[in-house]
Structure 1
Amino acid sequence: MTFDTYETLALACLVLLLGYFLVKRVKLLSNFNIPEPVVGGFIVAIVLTVVHEIWGLSFSFDSNLQRTMMLVFFSSIGLSANFARLIKGGKPLVMFLVVAAMLIAIQDTVGIFGSMALGLDPAYGLIAGSVTLTGGHGTGAAWAETLTNDFGISGAMELAMACATFGLVFGGIIGGPVARFLLTRLHKEEVPEDENVDDVQEVFEKPVYRRKVNSRAIIETISMMAVCLLVGQFLDELAKGTAFQLPTFVWCLFTGVILRNTLTLVFKFTAPDQTIDVLGTVGLSIFLAIALMSLKLWELAGLALPVFVILTLQVVVMATFAILVTYRVMGSDYDAVVLSAGHCGFGLGATPTAVANMQAVTAHFGHSHKAFLIVPMVGAFFIDLLNASLLKFFVEVAAYFH
């Protein structure tokens, strides 16, 4: 059965509503910050897999709509990257970017050589590496398409969604224990509740937006996103077959960065950050819903155990890296503990997981202004740029061993 654009959009919205309903009512899902599209999408994918196994029916959805929503999301990431915030973060933010880059390199190295040791194509190791762990569901789904085209592997999309979900769960699980272990070194005691007051005027999880969502802000945001898609597609065609060839979404992201900061710095334009965030989230939600509806889970059967071994190793690597590298590089103090817990969150999962990890620590041991400035900024804005740049190199490495 084939569904056209309108049918695909309608079904994707139903998947999202199912996910919202379940996450709201199942505490386990909300505690681990599992995204609504992932919850609803996986349930639908399982149902469609059962239908396929019993009646032999297969379903296909509009891939153009899925791809457009993916590009909208990554354009929003680029449009959110404000250079002024990078300057505000200063040296600690740059140091944390370096730490994040080191983890990406380690994840991809472990993934590539781990997959080869287990008899898999090294491209599968990239999917079980920074593509889905540091990258998350959106980046995982985007690179799955590229790796399928470049390496001819099967089940890449299904594997990417499974790996990203695994990372999301374990990113939330290990953050607390890592922080507890590091806190024993500091002999840090819990802060009484009346002293645990955060007096920050503006923090990431409760930002003060200068512009509200209205029709003008929406039109301006859609206009900027349209430019990102148009220029991104043009640059993608221009770079094909050259040393600068990258996935289309990376060009859209880069275009967004340049466009946002040019408008802000040169023309003194006040970007509608809240609207960019809202429309980007909508794009990601619809994209993930369609991607997950399209999963062919039966193609994962032969990959499940080897990939699980690699992912388990990645969890150990993340915890060890947070303790031995992130904590020490970031100052070996309380702020470094909170940063390490946050790094576990987005190093395996996503920025919301990182924020949840940090909140769990600061709720008992006091606030950390430094951590709440740096981790969300790196996790939400700069990590996708960094990951895309480093993945270009590791894709070449995987191709060499292919």
Structure 2
Amino acid sequence: MSEVFVVPNMLTATLGFAVFLLGAKMTRKVRFLREFNIPEPVTGGLIAAALFALYTFVSGTSLSFETAVRDYFLVLFFAGIGLNARLADLFSGGRILALLLVLTLATIIVQNIVGMAGAVVFGFPTKTGVLLGSASLIGGHGTAIAWAPNVAAMTGLAGAPELGVAMATLGLIAASLVGGPIAKYLIAKNDLKATSTEEGDVVGVPFEEEHEVTEISHVTLMRVMLSLHIAIIGGYILHGILEELGLMLPLFVPCLIVAIVSSNLRPVFLPKAPPVARTPTLAVISEFALGIFLAISLMTLDISTLSSAGPAILVTVGVQTVTAVALVVWVLFYMLGRNYNAAVLASGFAGFSLGATPTAIANMTAVTKRYGPAPIAFVVLPLVSAFFVDIANAIVIQTIVNF
């Protein structure tokens, strides 16, 4: 058995900063990465993951990263999304939200059909298809690990956990790489332009404005961080209440909700207070938090799990990726109105359906940094991925496993 070196949180964060800066430098140097909207932390994170895997192979020492610091950046980011949300956006996005809910359910069903077909073709038990489908893709690593014992018990497949983890890992990589090119294709083909008249950026500052931002100071940073932390504290309280009621949601969901409520009540109770929502400071902090979260998430991927990725996994991931791209390009984009917001959401939905919510947001951030803001996309997509997908996915998977 190989030795295990535990990387403490401080070092994990430090490596995350370096990995993100590597990706940022490459994005600015390599035109291809910029043209196809590949998120900065994806480039650096995947390079780092490969280097860490090489180190493990050569030295025989496995790396185990402490990730509490990563989870802090996640809730910080979603609190920032909540502070930027306006009730008018939520009301105007009602139709989009409903359509995304329907498309999410359709995606879950289609992924499992493809997964079961792959299982049959490659000689796996049919029910294993959920691990080649929505349990690992739209569900991610956590859902795959949670369902693997059930699938193993029902099918007798001893390698179910490894199968699910490998599928989720490849899905996350695919999700990080396809969203940006999808948006580029749709925007260029349909000659789309950002239509938002809102001032300020939701996440990140456009590349061409990075050296022009002058409104950020230690005071604005402190003000925004205070607002974010107040929302997060409220999120922790709400999370505890929801747990007592038996409703299990990721911590970032109640933080998002509290931030939305506090941001919309702020003008009522503090009408003369300096602004926080949609300011350059909040945009920069949000992008910083998302970038570090995703950089750490990708650099800590255990690529060695892909050693078990035989033809069944590789072919199925390929088919699932092509199917997801076809779904967002030929169905979602048209259903959402064939406009700029639809193109941004297409990039996000591709990242979400194959990987995870932060991947989706990173895809959309890379797109909006280049083409312009799409505020409603950053509010609507997290609501779908946070509230709906886990419940719908569990129902569909349970139905297939018990059938």
Distance 2:145 2:138 in 1: 16
Distance 1:71 1:240 in 2: 17
Q: Please give the per-residue CA displacement for 1:14-70, whole angstroms capped at 9, x wherever unaligned.
A: 111211221121121111111221111111111111222233221122211111111
Aligned letter for 1:231? G
Once the 2 structures are TM-superposed, how far is the Cα of residue 166 of structure 1 from its aligned partner? 2.4
| Counterpart position of 1:345 | 347
Instruction: Give the unaligned 5+ runs of structure 2.
Output: 120-127, 150-160, 352-362
1:4-15 to structure 2, matched below 5 A, reads: 4-15=8-19
| Counterpart position of 1:31 | 35
Once the 2 structures are TM-superposed, how far is the Cα of residue 118 of structure 1 from its aligned partner? 2.9
1:106-185 to structure 2, matched below 5 A, reads: 106-119=106-119, 120=128, 122=130, 125-126=133-134, 130=138, 144-145=141-142, 148-149=145-146, 153-154=161-162, 160=168, 162-175=170-183
Distance 2:345 2:261 in 1: 27
| Counterpart position of 1:101 | 101
TM, length-normalised to structure 1 = 0.74
| Counterpart position of 1:135 | none
CA distance 1:180–1:102, shift in 2 (3 Å): farther
> Is the Cα contact below 8 Å between 1:346 and 1:353 reproduced in 2?
no
Distance 1:10 1:353 in 2: 23
Partner of 2:281: helix, strand, or coil? helix
| Counterpart position of 2:328 | 318
| Counterpart position of 1:214 | 217
Q: Please give the per-residue CA displacement for 1:307-356, whole angstroms capped at 9, x wherever unaligned.
A: 22212211112222046533xxx3xxxxx454544443333243245548
Distance 1:199 1:278 in 2: 19
Instruction: Give the unaligned 5+ runs of structure 1.
Output: 132-142, 184-189, 331-335, 360-371
Q: Please give the per-residue CA displacement for 1:239-268, whole angstroms capped at 9, x wherever unaligned.
A: 337552111111211121122112234433
Distance 2:99 2:142 in 1: 28
| Counterpart position of 1:232 | 235
Distance 2:184 2:291 in 1: 28
Q: Please give the per-residue CA displacement for 1:337-395, whole angstroms capped at 9, x wherever unaligned.
A: 545444433332432455489x5xxxxxxxxxxxx77xx12222221012212113223
Superposed CA RMSD = 3.7
Which of these residues, 75, 97, 122, is aligned with residue 71 of structure 1? 75
Identity %: 21
> Which moves more between the two structures, 6-15 or 260-269?
260-269
Once the 2 structures are TM-superposed, how far is the Cα of residue 122 of structure 1 from its aligned partner? 2.6
Distance 1:158 1:11 in 2: 24
Q: How many residues were matched structurally? A: 352
Which of these residues, 39, 44, 51, is aligned with residue 47 of structure 1? 51
Deviation >6 Å, runs of 4+: 155-158, 196-201, 205-208
Distance 1:247 1:23 in 2: 31
Aligned letter for 1:344? A
Once the 2 structures are TM-superposed, how far is the Cα of residue 126 of structure 1 from its aligned partner? 3.2
> Which moves more between the two structures, 290-299 or 76-85?
76-85
> Is the Cα contact below 8 Å between 1:213 and 1:272 reproduced in 2?
no
Aligned letter for 1:240? E
Partner of 1:59: helix, strand, or coil? strand
Distance 1:221 1:177 in 2: 36
| Counterpart position of 1:275 | 281
> Is the Cα contact below 8 Å between 2:115 and 2:316 reproduced in 1?
yes
Distance 2:196 2:40 in 1: 32
> Is the Cα contact below 8 Å between 1:343 and 1:354 reproduced in 2?
no
CA distance 1:145–1:236, shift in 2 (3 Å): farther
Aligned letter for 1:72? L
CA distance 1:33–1:176, shift in 2 (3 Å): closer
Once the 2 structures are TM-superposed, how far is the Cα of residue 168 of structure 1 from its aligned partner? 4.6
1:181-330 to structure 2, matched below 5 A, reads: 202=199, 212-240=215-243, 242-268=245-271, 269=273, 270-273=275-278, 274-300=280-306, 301-302=308-309, 303-322=313-332, 324-326=334-336, 330=337
TM, length-normalised to structure 2 = 0.74
Partner of 1:60: helix, strand, or coil? strand
